[in-house]
Amino acid sequence: MDVKIEPTWKEQLGGEFGAAYFKKLIAFVRSEYRSQPCFPPGNRVFAAFDHTSFEKVKVVIIGQDPYHGPGQANGLCFSVADGVAKPPSLQNIFREINSDLDIPIPNTGNLERWAEQGVLLLNATLTVRAHEAGSHQNKGWEQFTDAVIDTLSARRDGLVFLLWGGYAKKKGSKIDSRKHLVLSSGHPSPLSANRGYWFGNKHFSKTNKYLEEHKKTPIKW
């Protein structure tokens, strides 16, 4: 199957695209996009990969599924398009960065600037029906993104995986922590953050410290 995805990822994940589950998944997604409003826009479904090639990845952040409100999802987990109000989880991410690194909270919630530096902003499910959270779960995306995580864990060294919340922790349970730094905390959503499970995790300074120790350029959060 000819999937339009960044070439280095196509090379690494080529076996997935010909698999029966993936063909079934794509047939489902195409049907959904033809019959229902879905997000992100079709040309942004693989945006996380298009912005961050396989060899460029330094950090992996795992989300669940795209925002399901009009104009929000841009194909990168936790990110919204320019001019769109920041969702509560993203507000809390920026608050932690501000506290951790004394970086001012930006005007935009568009995280493409992170992706361009090597942060793979990976949702477990890459598409969603409008106003229906989780509507494209258990259709095959999770198997595909498991393969992405497994491939990075096996074929790269010295990456940082940020696992926020129970879902991400489960998703990243097989990452080889002997080769990579795995940082876990509560989810940045208000429900978790306001109970003390998010703020103060200092994941952003810890990430940059590890990258510097491994002779990699730190992220400008």
What residues are annotated to the active site?
65
**Which tokens hold the place of 42?**
């079709």
Strands in 112-188 per DSSP E: 119-123, 128-129, 160-164, 181-185
> How far is it, in rounded angstroms, from Cα 53 to Cα 14?
14
> How far is it, in rounded angstroms, from Cα 76 to Cα 45?
9
Helices then strands (H, E): number in the chain? 10, 6
Contact by Cβ (8 Å): 78, 111: yes
> How far is it, in rounded angstroms, from Cα 195 to Cα 187?
10
What does the DSSP 8-state code read for residue 188?
A: S
Strands 128-129 and 38-39: antiparallel
**Which tokens hold the place of 7?**
């070439």
Contact by Cβ (8 Å): 58, 216: yes
> How far is it, in rounded angstroms, from Cα 121 to Cα 99?
22
